[in-house]
C-alpha cells in the first residue's frame, strides 16, 4: 500500500499538538511535561522555565525546582552534547544511546587532545567524583595533577562529553542552578544503572517521534547527533506508521497512536524560549520556520534567539531588557511578515505576562514592538 502524504501544515499541527503549543495543558505534572517533550534545551537554566510557562496553563516555577531537587528531572549533557532537562527515567533509558565513540567525540580537540587517553582519564575522573560532586574547575584541577602533560581544557571536555554526569541543583538559585554548579555521577545521583545497546537506541527514537514526529531518519539524526538512525527506524518499521511528505521526497515515521490533527486547527500565538527544541528538532525545519528566516534566529556565536509563533510558524524574535527598574519585552517580527490584528493582540497579552515571569522584581513592565 502506498504511504499517505502529509502536507507542511499537517506536519506543523502534529508538531504543535505534541509540543503542547496548540493549547496549554492543565494539570500535567512538570515531570510528565518534560518527558512528553523528549527533553528541553537548558543551555541556560532559565530557558526551560520559559518553555514550560508557554506550554502549561498552571505552571509554577517552584514545581520545576522541586522536581530537580527530588531528582525526578535532571539537567545534563545530552543531545548533540548540549545541556538539556530530561526526566530521570528517560535519562536512565536513553543516555548511553547518545554516547559518542571517544575517537569521534575527541576529534574536535585537535592538537589540544595530545596525550589524552580516555581509558585512563575517565576512570580517574569517576574516582574523583565518587560520592563527591565537584565543579568543573575542581575536576580539571585535580585531573591536571594526575595528567600534567595533558591540556586541562581537553581533560574537562573529555569528562563532560564521555562520562555520564548530571548537574546538582542549588536550592538558593532562582532558576535552579548557580554559576558554580557541581556535577555528580549520573548512576549515583539516580541510584540506577543506565540502559545499554539497541533497546536504548530504539527508546531514543520512540521518544523523539512522540515529541517531534512524523519525521525522517535525517531529522532524528539532526536532533540526536547520533548516526545510523536510518537502520534503527528500518528495524522498527513494523511498529511504526509511515508517511510521505508533501513534496513526495521524504519518508516520515511516526508512532501509531500519536496525535495528528487536521490542517484546519487554528494555533494560538506563542512565545518560545531561547534554544527551544521546537525550532531545532529536524534536519528539514520548514514545518516551523521558513528557510529564509533560519539565519535570523541564530547568532554568530551560535546562540538561538527567543522566537514567537503566529499561525504555528516562527514569525519573529523577542528580547527582554531592564533599565531603571523597568523590564521591557521587545517583539521584532521578521521583515515582510504580516501579523493579523487579533493575533497581534493575543501576542501582546502573552508578552505582558511573560515579562513579569522573567523579571518579577522590576518596578514596571512594558511590551514594545507589538505587531
Predicted local confidence at residue 326, as pLDDT: 87
Residues in the chain: 371
Beta-sheet pairing, 73-77 with 326-333:
unpaired
Q: What is the number of other CB atoms lying within 10 angstroms of the CB of residue 309?
A: 26
Number of domains into which the chain is organized? 1
In a domain, 358, yes or no: yes
In a domain, 41, yes or no: no
Cβ 159 vs Cβ 141: under 8 Å: no
Predicted local confidence at residue 363, as pLDDT: 66
In a domain, 363, yes or no: yes
DSSP, residue by residue, 289-328: S-GGGGGGGB-TT--B--EEEETTEEEEEEEEEEETTEEE
Q: List the pLDDT tens digit at each of the 371 positions of the chain.
A: 678 999 999 999 999 999 999 999 998 999 999 999 999 999 999 999 999 999 999 999 999 999 999 999 999 999 988 999 999 999 999 999 998 888 888 888 898 989 999 999 999 999 999 999 999 999 999 999 999 999 999 999 999 999 999 999 998 899 999 889 999 999 999 988 888 877 889 999 999 999 999 999 999 999 999 999 999 999 999 999 999 988 778 999 999 999 999 999 999 999 999 999 999 999 999 999 999 999 999 988 888 999 999 999 999 999 999 888 888 999 999 998 988 989 899 999 999 999 998 988 776 777 777 66
| CATH value at residue 336 | 3.30.300
Q: What is the dihedral of CA 26, 30, 36, 40, to 10 degrees?
A: 120
In a domain, 326, yes or no: yes
CA distance 94 to 197: 10
Q: Which domain holds residue 312?
A: 289-368
b/e burial code for range 106-118 (CB count within 10 A of at least 16 → b): beebeebbeebeb
With CA atoms as reference, report the closest residue to 371 among 320, 290, 327, 309.
309
CA distance 309 to 299: 19
CA distance 139 to 157: 11
Predicted local confidence at residue 48, as pLDDT: 96
- The answer to whether the bond into 87 is cis (omega within 30° of 0) is no
Predicted local confidence at residue 191, as pLDDT: 84
Instruction: Quote helix, strand, coil % in the chain, to nearest 5.
Output: 45, 20, 35
Spell out the residues 6+ positions from residue 290 whose beta carbon is closer than 8 angstroms to its own: 313, 314
In a domain, 345, yes or no: yes
Spell out the residues 6+ positions from residue 264 whose beta carbon is closer than 8 angstroms to its own: none
Task: Please report where in the chains the cell 545510523 appears, as a residue.
Answer: 228
Look at residue 242 and give its three-state secondary structure: strand
Distances (CA, A) of 326 to 61, 77, 350, 365: 22, 35, 18, 6
Helix axes 8-18, 197-212, angle to 10 degrees: 110
* Grid cell digits, residue 14: 502534529
Amino acid at each position: 500500500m502506498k504511504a499517505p502524504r502529509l502536507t507542511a501544515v499537517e506536519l506543523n499541527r502534529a508538531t504543535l499538538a505534541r509540543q503542547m503549543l496548540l493549547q496549554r495543558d492543565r494539570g500535567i505534572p512538570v515531570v510528565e511535561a518534560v518527558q512528553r517533550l523528549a527533553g528541553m534545551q537548558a543551555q541556560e537554566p532559565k530557558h526551560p522555565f520559559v518553555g514550560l510557562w508557554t506550554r502549561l496553563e498552571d505552571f509554577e516555577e517552584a514545581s520545576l525546582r522541586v522536581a530537580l531537587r527530588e531528582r525526578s528531572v535532571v539537567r545534563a549533557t545530552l543531545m548533540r552534547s548540549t545541556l538539556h532537562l530530561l526526566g530521570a527515567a528517560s535519562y536512565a533509558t536513553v543516555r548511553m544511546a547518545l554516547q559518542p565513540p571517544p575517537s569521534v567525540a575527541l576529534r574536535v580537540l585537535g592538537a589540544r587532545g595530545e596525550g589524552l587517553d580516555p581509558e585512563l582519564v575517565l576512570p580517574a575522573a569517576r574516582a574523583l567524583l565518587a560520592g563527591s560532586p565537584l565543579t568543573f574547575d575542581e575536576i580539571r584541577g585535580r585531573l591536571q595533577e594526575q595528567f600534567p602533560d595533558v591540556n586541562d581544557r581537553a581533560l574537562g571536555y573529555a569528562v563532560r562529553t564521555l562520562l555520564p554526569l548530571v548537574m546538582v541543583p542549588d536550592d538558593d538559585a532562582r532558576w535552579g542552578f548557580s554559576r558554580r554548579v557541581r556535577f555528580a555521577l549520573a548512576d549515583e545521583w539516580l541510584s540506577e544503572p543506565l540502559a545499554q545497546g539497541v533497546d536504548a537506541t530504539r527508546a531514543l527514537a520512540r521518544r523523539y517521534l512522540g515529541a517531534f514526529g512524523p519525521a525522517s531518519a535525517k531529522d532524528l539524526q539532526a536532533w540526536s547527533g547520533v548516526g545510523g538512525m536510518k537502520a534503527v527506524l528500518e528495524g522498527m518499521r513494523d511498529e511504526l506508521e509511515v508517511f510521505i511528505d508533501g513534496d513526495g521526497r521524504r519518508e516520515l515515521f511516526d508512532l501509531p497512536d500519536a496525535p495528528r490533527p487536521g490542517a484546519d486547527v487554528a494555533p494560538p500565538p506563542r512565545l518560545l524560549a531561547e534554544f527551544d527544541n521546537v525550532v531545532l528538532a529536524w534536519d528539514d525545519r520548514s514545518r516551523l520556520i521558513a528557510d529564509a528566516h533560519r539565519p535570523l534566529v541564530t547568532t554568530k556565536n551560535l546562540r538561538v534567539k527567543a522566537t514567537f509563533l503566529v499561525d504555528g510558524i516562527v514569525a519573529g524574535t523577542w528580547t527582554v531588557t531592564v533599565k531603571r527598574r523597568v523590564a521591557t519585552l521587545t517583539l521584532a517580527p521578521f521583515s515582510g511578515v504580516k501579523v493579523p490584528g487579533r493575533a497581534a493582540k493575543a501576542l501582546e497579552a502573552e508578552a505582558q505576562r511573560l515579562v513579569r515571569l522573567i523579571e518579577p522584581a522590576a518596578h514596571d513592565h512594558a511590551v514594545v514592538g507589538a505587531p
